[in-house]
Amino acid sequence: MKLYVMDNGVAPDMPREALVSTGRPVDPNDVVPIPIETFLIDHPDGLVLFDTGWSMPERWPRRWPIPDEKLVLNRLSQIGVSPRDIRYVVCSHLHIDHAGGLEFFKSSDIIVSDTELTNVAKLYFLNQLSHPYVRADIEEWIRVGLRWKLIGNEGNIVEFLDGIRLLSFGSGHSFGMLGLLVELPKTGNVVLTSDAIYCRENVGPPIRLPGVIRDP
């Protein structure tokens, strides 16, 4: 089993308060770069993609210009993989920088938190959807008829494939988040946390919550 880490660009000017909350007003001059990454796992039972990175360029303001070669389809192409080769897509949550381009994986099983998809669908149909969710993305997912596989069991580890476990975090940064525990034969255990943990300060001790959070 092999794990690829793919660079999908950088959000260069995120407020530091978004990563580690101090409770003070946001200082527009105190910013840090945030790397955007996706992960491909070459597993004997099929390729597993964790997150799909940015939404397509025409659907989001070019405040953060992402080079085309760093979009997930091009990153996969660089290692000889196409969307139809992906058996599973594990989507940590449905924000613009984690679920962009999901519609290209219509032959894959799309694994997502039940709570996340249910609440995002509710906001969509009530016409109350707001950033960082993208209405045009959701409309594409509906159009192509994605094969959703919903994960509940919040707060627990869920068996998935040999050497890969789903971490059903539950609510936090979003309505519902998933992570992965990958047991690599040479490297050891790797935990993919997505936006559940931004940096070491979040882990503590003491635990320091990020500022961009739905449920502490």
Tokens standing for residue 14: 């995120």
- 3 state SS of 86: strand
The most distant pair of C-alpha atoms in the chain lies apart, rounded to whole Å, by 49
pLDDT digits (tens, 9 = 90+) for 181-214: 999 999 999 999 999 999 999 999 999 998 888 8
Residue that the structure tokens 């599973």 belong to: 88
Task: Please tell me the total number of residues recorded for the chain in this structure.
Answer: 216
Q: Does 77 fall in a domain?
A: yes
d(CA 210, CA 174): 12
pLDDT digits (tens, 9 = 90+) for 75-102: 999 999 999 999 999 999 999 999 999 9
CA angle, 12 as apex, 6 and 18 as ends, to 5°?
100
pLDDT digits (tens, 9 = 90+) for 25-79: 888 899 999 899 999 999 999 999 999 998 887 776 656 678 889 999 999 999 9
Closest CA to 63 of 34, 105, 39: 34
Residue type for position 189: N
d(CA 89, CA 180): 12
Whole-number pLDDT of residue 119:
97
Q: Does 138 fall in a domain?
A: yes
Q: Does 91 fall in a domain?
A: yes
Q: Does 208 fall in a domain?
A: no
d(CA 211, CA 21): 5
Whole-number pLDDT of residue 131:
86
Of all residues in the chain, what percent carry a pLDDT higher than 70? 98
Closest CA to 196 of 186, 188, 181: 181
Domain count, the chain: 1
Q: Is 188 left (phi over 0), alpha (psi -120 to 50) or beta?
A: left
Whole-number pLDDT of residue 61:
60
d(CA 124, CA 111): 19
Buried b (16+ CB within 10 A) or exposed e, 118-144: ebbeeebeeeebeeebbeebbebbeee
Lowest mean pLDDT among 63-67, 126-130, 153-157: 63-67
> Domain range holding 33?
2-203
d(CA 97, CA 51): 9
Q: Does 179 fall in a domain?
A: yes
Considering Cα of 172, then 148, then 91, then 93, what sign does the dihedral take?
negative
Q: Does 213 fall in a domain?
A: no
Q: Does 92 fall in a domain?
A: yes
d(CA 149, CA 152): 10
Q: Does 210 fall in a domain?
A: no
Examine residue 61 and say whether the peptide bond preceding it is cis (omega within 30 degrees of 0).
no
Give me the mean pLDDT over the 122-148 stretch: 95
Domain of 19, CATH number, reads 3.60.15.10
